[in-house]
Amino acid sequence: MSFDPFLRNSHTPAKATIENLQDVLTWVNNDCECEETTKNGYRGALLWVSKHARTPLTDLPADRDAVLARFPNRDFTREWAKTYNAFLARKKNLSAAINGATGIIAEKAAHRARSDGWHRLIDRLRFLLSSYPAQTKFIDPRKIIAIEVLAGLARSLEIDACDVEGDVPLKIYSATGKPGRRKACVEAMALMNEVRGLDDGELMACLPRAPIVFARPKKPEHIEIPGILEQEIEVWVELAARGPWSPTDEAYQPGIDPMPFRNAVRKIVRTALMIRAIDSKCYTIAFAFADSIMTEVIRTWRRWEADADPRAIKASTAKGYLERAKTLLERNGEATYHIRTLLKTDRWLTLTSGRHNKMSPRTQRFCRRVVRDLQARGDFVSLHISFWRKAVFHLRKAKQFPSEATGHLDVARKYGTIAAFAALEIDAIPLRVGNALAITFRGKDPWLSLGSALARIRRSTGISLCRPMRTKPVNP
């Protein structure tokens, strides 16, 4: 159990002498007000960091982000912990210890406990739920957590509960970086409108004067393209995707897949409509590919990604759209000079050059672990078995509970399909000769661990192999 000062009436003040993790350990031993089991978890996490960072606690700064950056989740190995969940538990204890020692948790608790409109609103809602269950039966008590999330975001922007009106809801929503928090904000605003029906004076004093009017920002794919433009898109795409003309058949031969061209031009046109760069009453999509409008579309995509907007797309995706649009315009006899210029000069787009031809760092780390870590390899190879067991479980549930058979059979089909594909991907892909010849079983960082099976291999094949220097694969 981690230290939680939110449950305490008094908070330990921040220590000015906390400079490194040795100071954090001293705080845990002397000033921490939590239980002894929690203290042991903190001590274990601090000693764990010193061991695996190969650095004394006095040389590790009391900076939560800097320390946790040494152990990213994506680079987890079983040298750090036996299981991934145990690894996450270590990091949580470490984070709680540093935040508790430096006073960050106490500061947040004091911030949340301050008496303002949000505090009065949440307290009054809890009082009404406990005192008048019949009148408040339409309110889910768990939704108060959503109001607490909204309150935390609004307090960071110095916005009180009674001020959530006009453009303020959109401002709070845009400042939220995580999808889960965005959903909580929407639920909290809806609940604040619902509780107006209780007609409670103290509650109404905490709420805005008028009901909150908020609609999530529309994504480009939700923008409707006018019919005349949609028809022109289909004509342009057909011209770009069709094959060569056959004089004997007097018809065009099958060409390339039209879907990538259709998706690219629709994305550009919808974005232009959303930012009002073109009007919905325009009679041709050629206006969307004008130099000034294409520049504004790229700027909009860049701004969405920089602001972590829900409508954001990756630079590689944007570059793919422009590549398809360039080909589409070329095959329709339109100028492509400006799009070529954007692809060559835009820094956001050029940073992705060559990445699609290389294995991403994340894929490299995954493949390296599967190849070199015996336990990770076993988990990966047997992955289809876990999916198959889940499918069998739901099949049994379908027979056991006929009234719920439809749902269980649907889930069983999904797990069964995933299991089948996983088995095919693992067992049906042939091993290339070049990859086989590159496998090393001895020396530094061997890829293949022969272990105790050397004698069995020698007896069954007659081949004499030298025992590897390291029987356990070495993680990078």
pLDDT in tens, 107-144: 777 666 667 788 888 888 888 888 877 777 777 777 88
What region does 250 belong to: left with phi over 0, alpha with psi -120 to 50, or beta? Answer: left
Task: Give the SS3 label for residue 279.
Answer: coil
How much is the pLDDT for 5? 43
How much is the pLDDT for 246? 85
How much is the pLDDT for 436? 54
232: which 2 tokens?
Answer: 């022109």
Percent of the chain exceeding pLDDT 90 equals 7
| Average pLDDT of span 423-446 | 60
How much is the pLDDT for 396? 92
Over 70: is that where the pLDDT of 458 sits?
Answer: no
How much is the pLDDT for 188? 86
Over 50: is that where the pLDDT of 240 sits?
Answer: yes
Over 50: is that where the pLDDT of 28 sits?
Answer: yes
Of 73, 17, 82, 22, the residue nearest 50 (C-alpha) = 22
Mean pLDDT score of the chain, rounded to an integer? 79
How much is the pLDDT for 298? 92
Contact 188, 146 (CB under 8 A): yes
In the DSSP assignment, the letter for residue 20 is B
Over 60: is that where the pLDDT of 148 sits?
Answer: yes
350: which 2 tokens?
Answer: 């050029």
Identify how many contiguous H helices and E strands the chain contains and give both numbers.
22, 2
| Average pLDDT of span 307-330 | 87
103 or 296: which leads in pLDDT = 296
In the DSSP assignment, the letter for residue 246 is E
Task: Give the Cα-Cα-Cα angle 336, 340, 241 (nearest 5 degrees).
Answer: 55
Which of 37-41, 221-225, 237-241, 356-360 shows the lowest mean pLDDT across its residues?
Answer: 356-360
Over 70: is that where the pLDDT of 11 sits?
Answer: no
Q: How far apart are CA 404 and CA 397, in angstroms?
A: 8
Q: How far apart are CA 146 and CA 473, in angstroms?
A: 47
How much is the pLDDT for 299? 92
How much is the pLDDT for 322? 92
| Average pLDDT of span 452-473 | 40
Which of 79-83, 107-111, 181-185, 300-304 shows the lowest mean pLDDT across its residues?
Answer: 107-111
In the DSSP assignment, the letter for residue 211 is -
pLDDT in tens, 390-421: 999 999 999 998 888 888 998 888 888 888 77
How much is the pLDDT for 437? 57
pLDDT in tens, 157-197: 888 888 888 888 888 887 776 777 888 888 888 888 888 88
Percent of the chain exceeding pLDDT 70 equals 82
167 or 460: which leads in pLDDT = 167
How much is the pLDDT for 440? 65
How much is the pLDDT for 467? 39
Name 334's Cβ contacts closer than 8 Å, sequence gap at least 6.
286, 289
Over 60: is that where the pLDDT of 469 sits?
Answer: no
User: DSSP string covering 150-189, please?
Assistant: HHHHHHHTT--GGG--TTHHHHHHHT--SHHHHHHHHHHH
How much is the pLDDT for 429? 57
Task: Give the SS3 label for residue 61.
Answer: strand
326: which 2 tokens?
Answer: 């360039």
Distance of CA 287 to the CA centre of its chain: 36
| Average pLDDT of span 285-294 | 88
| Average pLDDT of span 279-299 | 88
Q: How far apart are CA 206 and CA 204, in angstroms?
A: 5
| Average pLDDT of span 222-229 | 83
How much is the pLDDT for 150? 86
Contact 184, 145 (CB under 8 A): yes
Q: Given the DSSP bridges, would you call strands 251-252 and 245-246 parallel, antiparallel or unpaired?
A: antiparallel
In the DSSP assignment, the letter for residue 241 is H
Distance of CA 359 to the CA centre of its chain: 20
Over 70: is that where the pLDDT of 460 sits?
Answer: no
How much is the pLDDT for 353? 57
Over 60: is that where the pLDDT of 29 sits?
Answer: yes
Which of 50-59, 244-253, 297-306, 422-431 shows the lowest mean pLDDT across its residues?
Answer: 422-431
Handedness of CA 288, 291, 296, 299 (dihedral sign): positive
How much is the pLDDT for 111? 66
How much is the pLDDT for 140? 78
